[in-house]
């Protein structure tokens, strides 16, 4: 945890009303950059490939950021971060949808029969598609009413699917790179997501060791 | 003013069509002057003069890809795995002096200096479609001559069945040699009859100029009916063998890349369909991908090489 004085000033800053809209706009910058590049022809000789790949990269990046919110909040004592978590989670879904749209439109010409064949035939596509379905489930239950209706416990259990999604997303990326034995980037994302999951396991285990009523 | 602005594209394209219309018979075996001879050269590297090829199927009517795209979107893993890497990193490649050692099952093994190779046979311009196994394609005006011209000089022995091509693997000038992606040096191979086919090109240049380093300078192979990776770049050794040689991508992932690797819309790559392709710089972002042709459209010329073969099995 940060020392009390800097923590308080950071928290005061994080509590400012402008922070949430600011993060919202920042999270849209990658999409704006890609769209601008596509329109002005600055995505290189194969813009379709660039759009499919970059949207996938940004999905993974936002997944790392969204999953980092809680560990950072608890270990640095930055409570106001909590209110950014849902929005960042929804941006994971947003970029995953863009990734799927880019693939369906630019690679498959929006031919649903071809997309269906691709999903059925290729494990690498199937894994990506399943993670998208799981993500849409989480996005659909992301509003406050859904928590009330499902009950906090069931809601939390459902949203633990994000770890499964993280695993599937890494597998999807791993298979994409497997033939070229080019795992450097895959390893970086796997390490980050692994560390974030590891932190949670450790955190839970530690909390069990503590007498009840106390929490770190 | 750019060189390409001197002659408007429709004018030279018409001219080319006209010349092709006259056909090889009228012009004789020499061929007409290359359209890339003067007016349309990119003006980036030294010129390399050539005559239009008269080999059947060698002059595609498709619109050539922009030089800028053809020389900046490359797979040349010795210089990095991203397609922008070779153009960025290949400047370190030292192409002079250069020699190609030709040996194995031949009567007259020899080492050819680049100067000898350049003089070995008249330079021809050939406009070939290039289909990458990744699902994109280009149209490139190469400069070179049929590999068979070189093969004739060394006189293969009766038991030679295959030709192996080994490319430069110099860790000092090629930053990614030593990465675990592939076995180095990059190795490729053809059956002898494929290597002797007149469309199999030993290329020294493109767009009327010497080969850019990122495209495989100073000498590379171009086999237009096979996926691009079969066309080995920066060749230093050619060996005639009795047994099928190992090839780089086949060794890396045998279930994805076969020895033959003929362009075939009916045999999918395990991770994507090969039925369609995207023509770089030509097909708009939202255009439907175009259909890939059997043997990349060279079926009339090369189909008989594979008569009776199960191409699902020998992919």
Domain boundaries, chain A: 4-209
Tens digit of pLDDT for each residue in B115-160? 999 999 999 999 999 999 999 999 999 999 999 999 999 999 999 9
pLDDT confidence band for B35 (50 / 70 / 90): low
Mutation pick from A54, A108, A115, A180 vs chain B, by most beta carbons of B within 10 Å, is A180
Neighbouring-strand partners of residue B110: B102
Residue B3 has pLDDT above 80, yes or no: no
Name which of A45, A51, A109 is nearest B73 (Cβ-Cβ): A45
For residue B182, which residues of chain A lie inside 8 Å, CB to CB? 181
Q: Average pLDDT of chain A?
A: 93
| Gyration radius from chain B CA atoms | 19
pLDDT confidence band for B37 (50 / 70 / 90): low
Sequential DSSP letters for A20-75: HHHHHHHHHHHHHHHHHHHHHT-S-S-HHHHHHHHHHHHHHHHHHHHHHHHHHHHH
Q: What is the mean pLDDT of residues B10-39?
A: 51
Length of chain B: 315
Q: Which of A206, A200, A185 is nearest to A67 (CA)?
A: A200
pLDDT of residue B103: 98
Tens digit of pLDDT for each residue in A11-61? 999 999 999 999 999 999 999 999 999 999 899 999 999 999 999 999 999
Tens digit of pLDDT for each residue in A130-156? 999 999 999 999 999 999 999 999 999
pLDDT of residue B285: 85
For chain B, how many structural domains are there in total? Answer: 1
pLDDT confidence band for A207 (50 / 70 / 90): confident
pLDDT of residue B27: 42
| CA B254 vs CA A179, B161, B241, B259: distances in Å | 10, 21, 21, 9
Residue B12 has pLDDT above 60, yes or no: no
Contact A182 B136 (CB under 8 A): no
Angle between helix A161-178 and A184-209 (nearest 10): 160
Contact A46 B83 (CB under 8 A): yes
pLDDT of residue A209: 76
- Chain A residue with CA closest to B67: the answer is A45
pLDDT of residue B13: 52
> What is the distance between the alpha carbons of residues A168 and A189, in angstroms, rounded to a whole number?
12
Mutation pick from A34, A38, A39, A48 vs chain B, by most beta carbons of B within 10 Å, is A48
Tens digit of pLDDT for each residue in B240-296? 999 999 999 999 889 899 999 999 999 999 889 999 999 999 988 888 899 999 999
* A-B C-beta contacts closer than 8 Å: 52
Q: Quick check: ipTM above 0.85?
A: no
CATH number at residue B59: 3.90.420.10
Residue A214 has pLDDT above 60, yes or no: no
> What is the distance between the alpha carbons of residues B229 and B133, in angstroms, rounded to a whole number?
7
> What is the distance between the alpha carbons of residues B210 and A55, in angstroms, rounded to a whole number?
37
Provide the percentage of residues in chain B whose pLDDT is more than 90.
80
Is residue B37 assigned to a domain?
no
* Domain residue limits at B216: 48-306
pLDDT confidence band for A213 (50 / 70 / 90): very low
Q: Average pLDDT of chain B?
A: 90
Residue A105 has pLDDT above 70, yes or no: yes
Residue B52 has pLDDT above 90, yes or no: yes
Mutation pick from A34, A45, A107, A124 vs chain B, by most beta carbons of B within 10 Å, is A45
């Amino acid at each position: 945890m940060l020392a009390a004085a800097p923590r308080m000033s950071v928290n005061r800053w994080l509590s400012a009303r402008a922070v949430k809209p600011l993060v919202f706009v920042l999270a849209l910058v990658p999409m704006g950059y890609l769209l601008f590049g596509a329109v002005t022809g600055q995505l290189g000789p194969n813009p379709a490939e660039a759009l499919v790949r970059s949207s996938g990269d940004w999905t993974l990046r936002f997944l790392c950021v969204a999953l980092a919110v809680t560990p950072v909040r608890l270990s640095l004592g930055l409570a106001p971060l909590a209110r950014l978590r849902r929005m960042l989670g929804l941006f994971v879904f947003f970029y995953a949808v863009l990734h799927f749209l880019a693939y369906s439109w630019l690679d498959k010409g929006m031919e649903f029969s071809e997309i269906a064949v691709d999903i059925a035939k290729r494990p690498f596509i199937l894994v990506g598609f399943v993670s998208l379905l799981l993500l849409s489930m989480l996005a659909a239950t992301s509003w406050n009413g859904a928590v009330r209706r499902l009950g906090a416990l069931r809601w939390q259990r459902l949203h633990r699917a994000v770890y499964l999604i993280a695993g599937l997303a890494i597998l999807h990326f791993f298979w994409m790179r497997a033939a070229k034995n080019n795992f450097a980037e895959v390893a970086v994302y796997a390490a980050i997501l692994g560390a974030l999951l590891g932190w949670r396991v450790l955190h839970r285990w530690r909390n069990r060791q503590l007498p009840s009523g106390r929490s770190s | 003013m750019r060189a390409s602005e001197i002659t408007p594209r429709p004018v030279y394209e018409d001219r080319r069509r006209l010349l092709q219309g006259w056909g090889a018979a009228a012009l004789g075996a020499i061929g007409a002057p290359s359209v890339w001879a003067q007016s349309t050269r990119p003006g980036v590297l030294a010129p390399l003069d050539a005559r239009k090829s008269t080999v059947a199927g060698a002059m595609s009517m498709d619109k050539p890809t922009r030089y800028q795209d053809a020389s900046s979107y490359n797979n040349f893993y010795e210089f990095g795995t991203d397609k922008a890497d070779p153009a960025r990193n290949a400047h370190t490649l030292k192409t002079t002096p250069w020699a190609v050692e030709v040996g194995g099952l031949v009567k007259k093994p020899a080492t050819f200096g680049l100067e000898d190779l350049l003089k070995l046979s008249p330079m021809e311009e050939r406009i070939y479609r290039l289909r990458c196994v990744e699902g994109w394609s280009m149209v490139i005006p190469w400069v070179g001559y049929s590999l068979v011209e070189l093969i004739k000089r060394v006189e293969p022995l009766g038991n030679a069945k295959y030709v192996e091509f080994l490319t430069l693997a110099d860790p000092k000038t090629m930053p990614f040699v030593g990465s675990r992606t592939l076995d180095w040096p990059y190795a490729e191979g053809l059956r002898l009859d494929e290597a002797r086919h007149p469309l199999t090109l030993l290329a020294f240049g493109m767009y009327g100029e010497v080969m850019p380093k990122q495209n495989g300078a100073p000498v590379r192979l171009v086999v237009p009916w096979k996926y691009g990776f079969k066309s080995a770049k920066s060749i230093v050794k050619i060996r005639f063998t009795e047994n099928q040689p190992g090839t780089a991508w086949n060794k890396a992932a045998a279930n994805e890349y076969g020895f033959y690797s003929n362009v075939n819309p009916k045999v999918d790559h395990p991770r994507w369909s090969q039925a369609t392709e995207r023509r770089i710089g030509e097909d708009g972002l939202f255009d439907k991908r175009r259909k890939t042709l059997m043997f990349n459209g060279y079926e009339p010329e090369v189909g008989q090489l594979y008569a009776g073969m199960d191409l699902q099995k020998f992919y």
